[in-house]
Amino acid sequence: MDSIEITAQIFGILGMICNILVFQQKTHKRVLVWQFFAALVFAVNYFMLGAVVGGILNTIGAIRSVVFFFKEKTKANSIFWLVFFICAFSISYPLAFITFGKEPTLINFIIEILPVVAMIIATISLRLGSANAVRKLGLISSPMWLTYNCFSGSIGAIISEILNLISIVVGIIRFDVMRKKNDKDA
């Protein structure tokens, strides 16, 4: 491992720590602040590892956090922002091949599309405003990011996504499965 890869892995671990801190915040604004930092740190991590799509997506994700932080000024609930972010995430895919020189192989076409679809799904789930929807759609998007992270070699992002998946499953059991069971028993 050379010094650039070691530094990239340090950024990935810092991103993982920021991502963990997201779920420990009491207020929505603080969640968005930690999401912003996690996205920025992961963007650096991915760019240093040559995982351009991951870097671009996390840069856009940091901007998304700012838009939602200032939701009154930016009118973040407007359909404009949903369409804007879906378009921005979608554009990152061809940019990786056209602008950033990602080799156009079948495996790269498949691997590079995974986080794009995952970010679109996550953005839609956030727009739906239901914790249940975020959890259920997270079961789709999180494995996509995990697969991408395995190919990009980001240790911090891999661990972070494994923790996200565990958290999603625990949340589904606690809030969806157990609640339905308790509702039936009542």
pLDDT the model gives residue 162 = 95
pLDDT the model gives residue 125 = 85
111 vs 118: CA distance, rounded Å? 12
Q: Tell me the domain boundaries of the chain.
A: 3-185
- Which residues have C-beta within 8 Å of that of residue 97, sequence separation ≥ 6? 104, 108, 112
Residue type for position 44:
V
Structure tokens at 156: 């911090």
pLDDT the model gives residue 185 = 66
Is the pTM for the entire model greater than 0.85?
yes
Question: Residue 174 gets which letter from DSSP?
Answer: I
Q: Are 120 and 90 in contact (CB under 8 A)?
A: yes
Ordered per-residue pLDDT tens for the chain, 186 residues: 799 999 999 999 999 999 888 877 777 788 889 999 999 999 999 999 999 999 999 999 999 999 988 988 988 888 999 999 999 999 999 999 999 888 999 999 999 999 999 999 988 887 776 778 888 998 999 999 999 999 999 999 999 999 999 988 988 898 888 877 776 766
